C-alpha cells in the first residue's frame, strides 16, 4: 500500500497540501493566542482572568459601626486598599489617588465604592478609622482587617503584612496594590503601583468592558 502510495502521482501534491495545511493551522493558532494575549494586555496586566476568585459571604463592621459584608459588596464595583492610618507616606498617596478615581468614576457610574481596610486593627480604632476615611471622602468605607476571621477580606484576598509591635511607633509593611471586586463578587483585578488617576480610570473602563462582554 505504502509502495503504491509512494509511487502515486498524487504523493507530492498531497504532501504539499499537508504542509500548507499544517502551516496554516499553526499560523491560525499562533494568531489566536497572540490576539488573546493582546486582548488581556489591553484590559489590564493585573486582571485575574479566566478564573477570578469568588468572594465568599462575610460580615464585618464599618467605621460607623454598621454591618458591612457580602450584601454591601454584591452589585457594586469595589476598589479596596489595605493600609493603616499611621502610615504617613504610601497610604495617603494611594488614598489621594483613590479619591480622584472615585470622584471621576462616580460622575459616570453609580455602582462604585471605595473601601479602606486597616492592617493595623489594634491601633486603628473605629474612631480613628472614621476620622481617616472621612478626611479623604465622606463616602469612603473603613473596615477593620479582622485577621482572626477566616472570611475577612484580608484573609480571602490573601493580603500579606508584617509589623514589629515591640517597637514604639511601629511600622507595618503591607500591600501597595489596589484590589477590584466586580458586582458578581469576584476578585477581578489587582492594580499595582505607581497609582495614577488616568491609568486607573483607563484600566477600570477596560476591565468593566471586558467583564461585561464575558459575563
Partner 1 sequence: MKKVNTIFFFLLLFLNINIVLAENSQKIHIYDLWINEAPPTATVLVAYVVLKNNSKRLMTLNSVSCPLFSSIEIHRSIIKNDIASMERHSMLEIPSKSTIKLSPGDFHLMLFNPKIPLNTHDTPIFTFSFLDGTQIPVTATIRKRKDMMH
Contact at 8 Å (CB) between 199 and 192?
A: no
Q: Does 86 participate in binding partner 1 (rule CB under 8 A)?
A: yes
User: CA of 5: how far to CAs of 10, 17, 21, 79, 214, in Å?
Assistant: 8, 15, 20, 66, 49
Q: Does 64 participate in binding partner 1 (rule CB under 8 A)?
A: no
Distance of CA 80 to the CA centre of its chain: 9
Report d(CA 193, CA 148) in Å as an integer. 28
Q: Which is nearer to partner 1, 59 or 86 (CB)?
A: 86
Q: Does 174 participate in binding partner 1 (rule CB under 8 A)?
A: yes
> Binding residue for partner 1 (CB under 8 A) from 171, 186, 199, 206?
171
> Binding residue for partner 1 (CB under 8 A) from 64, 75, 160, 209?
160
The three-class DSSP label of residue 143 is strand
Q: Which is nearer to partner 1, 72 or 101 (CB)?
A: 101
Q: Does 135 participate in binding partner 1 (rule CB under 8 A)?
A: yes
Q: How far is the CB of 109 from partner 1 (least distance, A)?
A: 22
Sheet containing strand 178-181, strands side by side: 53-54, 186-191, 178-181, 77-83, 112-118, 141-144
Binding site for partner 1 (CB under 8 A): 85-90, 92-93, 96-97, 99, 127-128, 131-132, 134-136, 160, 169, 171, 173-177, 190, 192-194
Amino acid at each position: 500500500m505504502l509502495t503504491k502510495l509512494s509511487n502515486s502521482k498524487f504523493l507530492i501534491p498531497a504532501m504539499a497540501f499537508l504542509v500548507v495545511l499544517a502551516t496554516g493551522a499553526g499560523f491560525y493558532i499562533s494568531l489566536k493566542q497572540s490576539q488573546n494575549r493582546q486582548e488581556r494586555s489591553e484590559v489590564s496586566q493585573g486582571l485575574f482572568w479566566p478564573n477570578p476568585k469568588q468572594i465568599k459571604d462575610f460580615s464585618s463592621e464599618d467605621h460607623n459601626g454598621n454591618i458591612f459584608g457580602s450584601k454591601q459588596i454584591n452589585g457594586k464595583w469595589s476598589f479596596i486598599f489595605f493600609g493603616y492610618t499611621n502610615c504617613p507616606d504610601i497610604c495617603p498617596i494611594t488614598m489621594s489617588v483613590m479619591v480622584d478615581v472615585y470622584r471621576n468614576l462616580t460622575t459616570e457610574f453609580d455602582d462604585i465604592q471605595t473601601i479602606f481596610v486597616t492592617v493595623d486593627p489594634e491601633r486603628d480604632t473605629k474612631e480613628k478609622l472614621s476620622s481617616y476615611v472621612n478626611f479623604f471622602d465622606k463616602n469612603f468605607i473603613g473596615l477593620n482587617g479582622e485577621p482572626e476571621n477566616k472570611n475577612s477580606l484580608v484573609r480571602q484576598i490573601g493580603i500579606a503584612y508584617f509589623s514589629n509591635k515591640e517597637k514604639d511607633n511601629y511600622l507595618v509593611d503591607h500591600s501597595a496594590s489596589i484590589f477590584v471586586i466586580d458586582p458578581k463578587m469576584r476578585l477581578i483585578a489587582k492594580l499595582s503601583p505607581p497609582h495614577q488617576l488616568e491609568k486607573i480610570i483607563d484600566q477600570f473602563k477596560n476591565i468593566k468592558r471586558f467583564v461585561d462582554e464575558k459575563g
